[in-house]
Amino acid sequence: MNDTLDPARRAAQVARATAFAGLHTPAAPLALANAWDVAGARLVEAAGGAAVATTSAGVAWSLGAPDGDALARDRALDLVARVAAAVSVPVTADIEGGFGTDPAGVAETVAGVLAAGAVGINIEDGHRAPADHAERLAAARAAAETAGVPLYVNARVDTYLFGLGEPGGRLDETLRRAAAYLEAGATGIFVPGVTDPATVAELAKGIGAPLNVLVGPGAPSVAELGALGVARVSLGSWVAEAAYAVVRRAAEELLREGTYTSLAGSLPYGELNALLKG
């Protein structure tokens, strides 16, 4: 993949990146139903999605790898390029921990993401030391500046998702990490694993950038989260998990009962086929 952007393509990408950043507002939070292939991305766009986000888990599973920095970078970037070419709305790519063993590797990934046509990334700290992750974020920002595109860097803080630190001090630790990541070059902060209104409100109040939370069954509505100060909500791997649940139910019903009722309500063949003709 050629990582060099020609002037016309760079100008278009800058416009998409600017528009994407502007979608992050608590007044009308950006709602992302994460996709993992072209058909899903087009369905999200057709439903009215203002942007398309990939899910690293869904992408990895569909390509035969587990989630968690196991997928090869080139395969992930190929998927991003396919999705970005298939939709007209901005695309943000979940790049797990950066698909690189060090900051230089992360910079290479970001150059590839931009060459693929995306204008945003999610990059997670996981169990990595916050100082190390800040270096990776700084490398991502530097790579975007070199390319001349205001990449939206959504820094994921996994304190709640993975139960890191003492429960009583988790909020403070999250806010400390968020501040460090913003200083390193992040645009926004993603805190999955928490939807409790009181905690979310404290996070929104204490983070000086757009706050993204992971939503799913049982979480407050998009409007309720916006009222708490959330600027972006993501379904993450939930959609992929639901889709694969249909695969398992259909297979088990077919093989055990010899019936097919679990496929009721499927999208019509013609509708899906037409979606991919344009």
Q: Is the residue at 205 inside a domain?
A: yes
Q: Is the residue at 177 inside a domain?
A: yes
List Cβ neighbours of 129 (8 Å cut-off, separation of 6 or more).
none
Q: Using CA atoms, how far apart are residues 51 and 244, in angstroms rounded to an integer? A: 23
Domain that holds residue 92: 7-237
Q: Is the residue at 151 inside a domain?
A: yes
Digit-coded pLDDT (tens) for 156-215: 999 999 998 887 899 999 999 999 999 999 999 999 999 999 999 999 999 999 999 999
Instruction: Output the pLDDT for position 278.
Output: 66
Q: Is the residue at 113 inside a domain?
A: yes
Instruction: Output the pLDDT for position 1.
Output: 42
Q: Is the residue at 262 inside a domain?
A: no
Digit-coded pLDDT (tens) for 210-235: 999 999 999 999 999 999 999 999 99
What values do phi and psi take at 105, rounded to 5?
-65, -40
Percent of the chain with pLDDT over 70: 98
Q: Into how many domains does the chain fold?
A: 1
Digit-coded pLDDT (tens) for 130-164: 999 999 999 999 999 999 999 999 999 999 999 98
Q: Is the residue at 264 inside a domain?
A: no
Q: Using CA atoms, how far apart are residues 168 and 185, in angstroms rounded to an integer? A: 28
Q: Is the residue at 106 inside a domain?
A: yes
CATH number at residue 141: 3.20.20.60
